[in-house]
Amino acid sequence: MDNKEKICLITGASSGIGYAIAKALGRDNHTLIVTARRKERMDGLAGKVVDIVAGDLTSHDFLDSLDSYVYDKYGRCDILFNCAGIQENGAIEEIDIDKMSRMVRLNVESTFRLTYRFLKRFKKQGSGHIVTISSVLGTKVRPTAGAYAGTKFAIEALSEALRMELAGTNIKITCIEPGLVMTELHKDWKIHPKISMGIHEPLAADDIVEAVRFILNQPEHVRIPKLMILPKDHII
């Protein structure tokens, strides 16, 4: 990864994709501010600076304190990684509406809110990169995944609008659109999607890290607004 030290805020850093990104960036000696609710799951992250700020991103008080925390302590931020997310599935008429609303609050509202706050900081700073983990379901819908896909479509809309609004500036916007990745996202599902979707070799979180490396290693004039990454036997 680009050798210049970067200051990064990573959400969802206690597990799965966010954790893998934090582990890789820590190894490369970038300064990390990591956040999720489970502090103990981030304690093992190693690097030159790994600053753990535990909290719930659906709490406005907590979320709204993050940019001041980062800027008061480090004076700048180079990359915001929006990795926190949950997935609730079910046919629309059967879905647990309270769980669905919680998912909308985290996947959509928190991502919009954090992006909004860092965007203002990046504008003042004159640079920055917002990398958001969307999904292949930010580009298509499947039965029983309408609500989750809706949250990811919203993130895609946010990112595409920002790409256009920020054209010509030094602020970069990227949406990563993974297919099935083996993480804790599906740990409570009755049937794991690798079975229901017939995916024999799902992605690993480290495959997403490779995509992140590719994105961060581009020359300054190049933009990667979207990057889809799928397992080889992914069909729908």
Burial 70-94 (b: 16+ CB within 10 A, else e): bbeeeeebbbbbbbbbebbbbeeee
Binding window for ligand NAP (CB under 6 A); candidates: 24-32, 66-74, 84-92, 157-165: 84-92
- The yes or no reply on residue 85 touching ligand NAP (CB under 6 A) is yes
For the bound state, the minimum distance from the C-beta of residue 220 to ligand NAP, rounded and expressed in Å, comes to 27
Rounded to whole angstroms, the Cα distance separating 148 from 60 reads: 22
Which two structure tokens, joined as six digits, stand for 95? 């879905």
Q: How far is the CB of 12 from ligand NAP (least distance, A)?
A: 3
What's 9-45 look like in SS3? EEECCCCHHHHHHHHHHHHCCCEEEEECCCHHHCCCC
Under rule CB under 6 A, residue 26 binds ligand NAP: no
Does position 185 bind ligand NAP by CB under 6 A? yes
229: helix, strand or coil? strand
Cα-based distances in Å from 234 to 144, 157, 179, 197: 17, 24, 7, 8
For the bound state, the minimum distance from the C-beta of residue 49 to ligand NAP, rounded and expressed in Å, comes to 19
14 binds ligand NAP (CB under 6 A): yes
Binding to ligand NAP (CB under 6 A) within 206-235 occurs at none
Site for ligand NAP contains 32 (CB under 6 A): no
> Which residue in 19, 69, 116, 148 is the catalytic one?
148
56 binds ligand NAP, rule: CB under 6 A = yes
State how far Cα 137 lies from the chain centre.
Answer: 14
**Which of 47/178 has CB closer to ligand NAP?**
178
Quick check: is 148 catalytic?
yes
CA 18 from centre of chain? 7
**For the chain, how far is it from start to end, CA to CA, in angstroms?**
32
Q: Which helix (H) or strand (E) holds 90?
A: none
Which residue, 33 or 83, has its beta carbon nearer to ligand NAP? 83
Q: Which of residues 136-175 bind ligand NAP (CB under 6 A)?
A: none
Report if residue 135 touches ligand NAP, rule: CB under 6 A: yes
- Per CB under 6 A, does 178 bind ligand NAP? yes
Taking CB under 6 A as the criterion, the residue among 80, 84, 130, 209 binding ligand NAP is 84
Query: Contact 187/171 with Cβ under 8 angstroms?
Result: no
Catalytic residue list: 148
Residues that bind ligand NAP (CB under 6 A): 12-18, 36-38, 41, 56-58, 83-87, 106, 133, 135, 178, 180-181, 183-185
